[in-house]
Structure 1
């Protein structure tokens, strides 16, 4: 048989650990979707009014 009919797998080449880690970090960066924005934490309205409105009513309901 001729050498053309038998395909040899390519010979492995040496890759430095630095290059290997850099390529893994780059692959992770481009394949990871962006994080969802953090939801805003809002305090209930009664906490924002201060200690005078502890029952949760605003000034229109008090009358």
Structure 2
């Protein structure tokens, strides 16, 4: 995986209480910054992209 970064979906002022993502061409991993030692969730890149599109569409509704 690439370097972990704060998700753009974590709100302003969340400090360290957010999610981080790491991406490759084929997968996206997600972890909780409050407990980085716990397991991460890993998704195929197309599935994660579809999830983000659904979130964006729901925001517009």
Q: TM-score range by the shorter chain?
A: 0.3 to 0.5
TM-score of the pair, normalised by structure 2: 0.35
The answer to which structure has the higher helix fraction is 1
Larger C-alpha radius of gyration, 1 or 2?
1
